[in-house]
Amino acid sequence: MVTVKAWCRVDLAGGTLDIWPLGLFHPQARTVNVAVDVAVTVELQPLPGGYRVRQGESVVEAGSAGELARQPDAALLGVAAAALDLPPFAAALASESPRGGGLGGSSAILIAFLAAAEVAFDRPRLPPDRQVALAHDLEARLMGLPTGIQDHYPAILGGALEIRPQPGGERVRRLAVDLDALGESLVVVYSGQSHFSAGNNWQIVRRRLEAEPEVTAHFEGIAAAAAELAPALEAGDLPRVGELMSREWSHRRLLAEGISTPVLEELLRAAAEAGAWGGKACGAGGGGCVAILTPPDRRTAVAAALERAGGRVLRARPVGTGLEIASD
Amino acid sequence: MVTVKAWCRVDLAGGTLDIWPLGLFHPQARTVNVAVDVAVTVELQPLPGGYRVRQGESVVEAGSAGELARQPDAALLGVAAAALDLPPFAAALASESPRGGGLGGSSAILIAFLAAAEVAFDRPRLPPDRQVALAHDLEARLMGLPTGIQDHYPAILGGALEIRPQPGGERVRRLAVDLDALGESLVVVYSGQSHFSAGNNWQIVRRRLEAEPEVTAHFEGIAAAAAELAPALEAGDLPRVGELMSREWSHRRLLAEGISTPVLEELLRAAAEAGAWGGKACGAGGGGCVAILTPPDRRTAVAAALERAGGRVLRARPVGTGLEIASD
């Protein structure tokens, strides 16, 4: 049995620009995010005779990888198993992220699964950039849509990262950040609304590719905020980071209908009233989680205000370590 | 002075599926093409004080790479120079391909330029897959649209190639083909209509990403034809290759309005009447060149029929060698 644990992430600024080729159009484009201790776990072992995927109450069984790929609850693993020609296995999946939470949980599960499969089936270990390319292509194949790369790097590497789309391939830089100090100020709250990122994202990608002026201008604003956020984060200027998250959100919420929702705006308003520096919805928005930065001495008050506004505050501390692999 | 010569290509089947992520949606997807001796040439030398790009009558001068990128006649080189932070240079470009010919000439020029810049400015030499990724990203940045990878590999490698999009990155295979025999049967004719591939391609990509059933079915047909064509080409079964090119075109022409034009159809009809095995438009269609396969003993008659139908037959013999670099 191989067990792999990987982290979800909170994106601080610049998401969606990680979907090719959008980031190439904005020279300042980058995605800044941080791994948090919202874990996903994959347990994997060979199982002669058939494929079985268990997650909570759901158990999916299939005679082939292709059949597995046609089961909604196990489709991503099935697509991966078919593409990699993996022999039968039993996999148990667990995620601490709320479903549709916007924390990149499903990509983290895929990354953990791919790493587990390398060990369980004695396949060559891919370096991070090839593993990310593989995972992101498998997701594109499953969804039939362009997908991004920002969820996979934190799952593999941990820590605070800057992911810059560049001609010829992304440059990934680990930011020198005091993660404990960031953790004192970071509050992640689940809105109770599940989201579906692919549909939202495609509408936005399409409008940017068609060069709609308003969408293009908002992406320029998102890229600029992300470019300012990375050095502010490294300088430990968290009030400024919070302000830039809010500025990023002021553009992002206008990219398409449905990214902003009344529940998300109410959470952001409640946090601001309780003294937070700023915040934004995680991932594609439209529900999911909200990330808030607050002065440490306002943290308890902000969390209470978020709960009163209907949110559920998650344990989500930044973590600097990457993927954990254990086998027995 | 560094001089680099690269080849244009004739695509036999499966184009457009090389535009990410389309090929991932069709498991049989591949692009089969062949380098032909329609050459492009780039001469490059450092030029202290400013950038100068000459192509035929056109001379563009600029004080910076960014300024060069804003000049339509030198934009792609300017985008490349800006992204790679290249110092000032003089470049002379030449292409034997008709403008808008659908033979991948502008990508071949970019590949030749990137190789020349590596030598002229003592930059590390990228392996083919990284060079292709770089070139294709630069083109996406310039056009603001997704772009493909099928034009770049023949320019670098020469020969007949099969380019398969796979999760994690394309697999490129050199096909074992008797290029002389293929040359006896291949006729490439210019329609006299210039085309613009990016606009055509984007409409098609968009419709496939939105899973329009008709477009999806035609891509499935294109992928299937390409999958059959590669082994037929390796077996030297050129009548079958011609038939598969025609079958590919029967799907491709229906992907969008404007891919098929009366002039293109007239050329294909004239060739068939003169005894050709089959054929299709090159690249994105909408004009440009048509590639025909014909029995060698019908070659003269087919060429004459194509000229009578208004086409201009090009010298375009398959070549097995790749990029040529000379410096003095």
Q: Which residues of A touch B206 (CB under 8 A)?
A: 206, 209
pLDDT of amino acid A201: 85
Stretch B277-306: mean pLDDT, rounded? 97
pLDDT of amino acid B42: 98
Name the average pLDDT for chain B.
96
Question: What's the Cα-to-Cα distance from B216 to each of A204, B22, B204, B222, rounded to whole Å?
Answer: 22, 10, 10, 10
> Does residue B246 carry a pLDDT above 80?
yes
pLDDT of amino acid B198: 63
Task: Choose the closest CB to A211 out of B138, B144, B167.
Answer: B144
The pLDDT tens digits of the residues spanning A50-103 come to 999 999 999 999 999 999 999 999 999 999 999 999 999 999 999 999 989 999
Where residue B194 falls among pLDDT bands split at 50, 70, 90?
A: confident
Cβ distance of A166 and B211 shorter than 8 Å: no
Nearest CA in chain B to A133: B168
CATH superfamily name and code, B179-314: GHMP kinase, C-terminal domain (3.30.70.890)
Task: Choose the closest CB to B169 out of A133, A138, A147.
Answer: A133
Count of alpha carbons within 13 Å of A152, Cβ hemisphere only? 25
Nearest CA in chain A to B130: A168
Where residue B195 falls among pLDDT bands split at 50, 70, 90?
A: confident
- Interface residue B327 vs chain A (CB under 8 A): no
- C-alpha–C-alpha distance, residues B56 and B229, integer Å: 38
- Interface residue A147 vs chain B (CB under 8 A): yes
Q: What is the ipTM of this complex?
A: 0.95
The pLDDT tens digits of the residues spanning B140-175 come to 999 999 999 999 999 999 999 999 999 999 999 999
Cβ distance of A21 and B140 shorter than 8 Å: yes
The pLDDT tens digits of the residues spanning A130-139 come to 999 999 999 9
> Does residue A196 carry a pLDDT above 70?
no
- Interface residue A134 vs chain B (CB under 8 A): yes
Domain extents in chain A: 2-175+320-327, 179-314
Task: Choose the closest CB to A25 out of B21, B144, B167.
Answer: B144
| CATH architecture under which domain B2-175+320-327 falls | 2-Layer Sandwich (3.30)
Q: Which residues of A touch B144 (CB under 8 A)?
A: 25, 209, 211
- Interface residue B25 vs chain A (CB under 8 A): yes
> Does residue B217 carry a pLDDT above 90?
yes
Where residue A198 falls among pLDDT bands split at 50, 70, 90?
A: low
Where residue A284 falls among pLDDT bands split at 50, 70, 90?
A: confident
- Interface residue A75 vs chain B (CB under 8 A): no
Residue A97's SS3 state is coil
Cβ distance of B21 and A146 shorter than 8 Å: yes
Chain A closest-CA separation from residue B130 CA (Å): 6
